[in-house]
Structure 1
Amino acid sequence: VQTVSFPQPGEKMAYFDIKAPMTTGIAKVKIIAKSSMEQTSYDVEMDIRNPNPYITNVVSATIQPGASFSQAYLPIGMNGTNSGAIEYSSLPPVNLKKRLNYLIQYPHGCVEQTTSAVFPQLYLDRLINLSAKQKSTSEANIKAGIGKLKGFQNTDGGLSYWPGSGDSDEWGTNYAAHFLVESQNTGYTLPVGMFDGIIRFLKNKASNWVPNSNNFYGGDLSQAYRLYVLALAKRADIAAMNRLRTFEYLSVAAKWRLAAAYKLAGQGEAATSLIQNLPTEVKPYTQLGGTYGSDVRDQAMILETLTLLGRKSSAGELLQPLAAKLGTDEWYSTQTTAYSLLAIAKFCGANTSSTSLQYSSSINGKT
């Protein structure tokens, strides 16, 4: 309670210390002002939030057929702000709830972020069983992503890194074009002229690409990815593929991607010979420009190629460490996370038996 004196009509400030409750939500403060003859009151709503960052705690276990598993678990965080989820999979745990919450949202940001937000949603039903509402939301997000990507397109057909920012970004265009081709192949409709413009840009870049000091590091992977997207769109440029194949310094990552392009173009023997004795391990790295890549992203691209080539055993061996990395709390970029989930979803789609599970569970005695 405070007393404020007014010798004449006017305004004065009064300050109060308020103790917030130990929970989040909307708190209400009622202010009452009284004078000798008058009284008034006013309700103020205040949003009580926790300023600390989100924390995710993962407990994982491998359960053999016919065996059981129990785990005592104490929730972390403040009451009312925490939640839990149980994830069952015949695949190694990939911390799916956290990764999808990070990606699956209304698309926004640069061309890479916009693409990453919606790309895994094309194949989300291969990873989890979606409710009707989740399917509807996912479809709406994909359509919104396609519409937003149209706003990145320049007159040359390519996509800029930001809408209206000038020159087309080669890797961003490759990545977005990959999503757009796959979305079209799964039944989504692209804006009029968008597909033709992107194909024109990709074919022009593919036919004129030569290694130089500006694109020597990562340039061959960008060219291989471009050729892969063209092959996926049934516009394969075999001549450009053959020229890239003879490049003396062709990187391992580019060879894997080019092999996928050959496979899509119906050149299975060329694909097989290109990856013969190639390693699937990738040394740790993170690239902030160029292809915006990482070792995990590259392993996901290799997994996608192995799945495409029908090499189930090799793909399964690579899936284990890739899923294990996603199963940790380590931060990965949007593209790395999106491409990893995409590659795993494609593996699951090509190996339908891996999604068949029979199990029962109970929490606090409730089944």
Structure 2
Amino acid sequence: YVPVRPAQLPVTTRMVVDLKGNGGSLRVDKELLAASVLDGASVSVGISQAAAFDVPSLLMTLDRYPYGCAEQTTSRAMPLLYVNEMASGVGIASDADLHGRIQDAIYKVLSYQASAGSFGLWGPGSGDLWLDAYVTDFLTRAREQKYDVPAQAMNQALSNLQNAIGYDQDVKDRGSEIAYALYVLARNKKASIGDLRYYADTQLEAFTSPMAVAQLAAGLALYGDTQRSEATFQAALQLASSSSAYDDYRSDYGSPLRDGAAMLALAAESKPVPTIVPALIKLVTQERAAVRWTSTQDESWMLLAARALKAGNDSIALTINGAPHAGAYSDQIAGSDIANSPLTVANTGSNPLQAVVTTVASPIQPLPASGDGFTIGRTYYKLDGTEANVTEATQNERYVVVLNIYEQNKWPSRLVITDLL
């Protein structure tokens, strides 16, 4: 038996179903995957108070990102630090293998660290202060959770951040990088409280990223400056709420959804918790409903933000295939099992709920050609240079494949071309 992958890559679909109080129900059965290849397919069902923070589907989709660069490795691993902490509150089982996966991610990103402490996307490198701060944030949180983070590597990473902000004070163009570096240093008790107060008091309007402003606020909270932290969090919310135009070409992987989720995560971690948390939950819920596609950054920070909502699911009352269930619920069903094991969920409580049904499956029929900003042409050639008709290919024949990528817009971009050939 030789496994053969489907001709089409798996497609992820997300559907939100409202469950009315006192009887609203949902049935998940084979009809959901009627147009998909069942072998290798999976269905995630999550029921909670807010669909935007559906932890099971976020974990499933985040885990499917295939590229192992420093940003994606960090985005996949950082929220896993808190998954077992959230498990009971969101209706998922604790993962006994989680520790090993996180430790492997730590060693992987450390393999991308240069001798000066900076990080590259695909190997040791430098020049991306935001990435340096992001990876060092992950390493900081991992060390707080008692993972093995070599002291020398950690010290080099922190020294790199200190050196960078020591000479880089261009808040207008580099505010996101400076704020993140200051926050990570504050989390390690190595930031200058004077710098944090200076930026919060005199330079706040120069920061164009709501996440950056929230990081300044969180840094102030870490040093016990509660009043100034609260005011700065309020400024971050005001900036996020008033921004009508958004710079999609930022170098910090940002989006309105990512910024909102990061603000919520940072606020929920601060002590005391700032008063803007309910408003941030509403903001992130609105931003999630407005987008179709999400990035690793969006999903990673939304998982971190979900910790702010874990207490709100205690009052949920459901029946699962007729059996009573209290609290949030989640399940993941293999495509091959769904025909014989359909799932029926009913909301027996008085409050309305939302169910998120996420499928990952390869379609039976080929998807139509499509694109957004780019078109790709593929031409096959024989080894003698003549054009080939691959529909007539026979075993052991070799071809040269030429890809032509045409850019329809002058978008600054970082591209990865994946061709199944």
Instruction: Give the TM-score normalised by structure 1.
Output: 0.74
- Quote the residue 1:222 is aligned against: 177
2:156 — aligned with what? Answer: 197
Amino acid of the structure 2 residue aligned with 1:319: I
**Structure 2 partner of 1:256:** 214
Partner of 1:116 in structure 2?
75
The yes-or-no answer on 1:240 pairing with 2:240 is no
Post-superposition shift, 1:201? 1.0
Aligned-residue offset at 1:131: 3.5
Distance 2:72 2:194 in 1: 32
2:111 maps to what in 1?
151
Q: Does 1:332 align with 2:294?
A: yes
Q: Which has the higher strand share?
A: 2
Q: Offset of 1:196 from its aligned partner?
A: 0.7
- Structure of greater relative contact order (alpha carbons < 8 Å, 6+ residues apart): 2
1:56 maps to 2:56: no
SS at structure 1 position matched to 2:123: coil
Instruction: Please identify the structure whose Cα radius of gyration is greater.
Output: 1
SS in 2 for 1:58: strand
Aligned match of 2:143 in 168, 180, 184?
A: 184
Q: Percent identity?
A: 23
Partner of 1:88: helix, strand, or coil? strand
SS of residue paired to 1:163: coil
Gaps of 5+ in 2: 323-341, 346-421
Query: In structure 1, how many angstroms separate the alpha carbons of the residues matched to 2:112 and 2:37?
Result: 43
Indicate if the aligned counterparts of 2:19 and 2:25 stay in contact, CA closer than 8 A: no
5+ long unaligned stretches in structure 1: 1-25, 27-44
2:63 alignment partner in structure 1? 104
Instruction: Go from structure 1 to structure 2 and tell me whether the alpha carbon gap of 1:201 and 1:356 turns closer, same or farther (over 3 Å shift).
Output: farther
Give 2:188's aligned amino acid: A
- The alpha-carbon deviation at position 262 of structure 1 amounts to 0.4
- Correspondence list, 1:83-98, <5 A: 83-98=42-57
1:343 corresponds to 2:305: yes
Residue 33 of structure 1 corresponds to none
The residue type equivalent to 2:224 in the other structure is G
CA positional deviation for 1:90 = 3.0
Alpha-carbon displacement from aligned partner over 1:295-348 (angstroms, at most 9, x marks no partner): 111111221233225457631332234245546882111112111211222x13
Q: Call closer, same or farther: CA 1:332–1:287 in 2, change over 3 Å.
A: same
**How much has 1:124 moved relative to structure 2?**
1.6
How far off is 1:101 after superposition?
A: 1.9
The count of aligned residue pairs is 312
Partner SS, residue 4 of structure 2: strand
Q: Distance in 2 between matches of 1:57 and 1:106?
A: 16
Shift of 1:359: 2.4
Work out the CA distance in 2 between the residues paired with 1:314 and 1:113: 29
- CA gap of 1:182–1:49, structure 2 versus 1, over 3 A, is same
State the 1:291 CA deviation.
Answer: 0.9
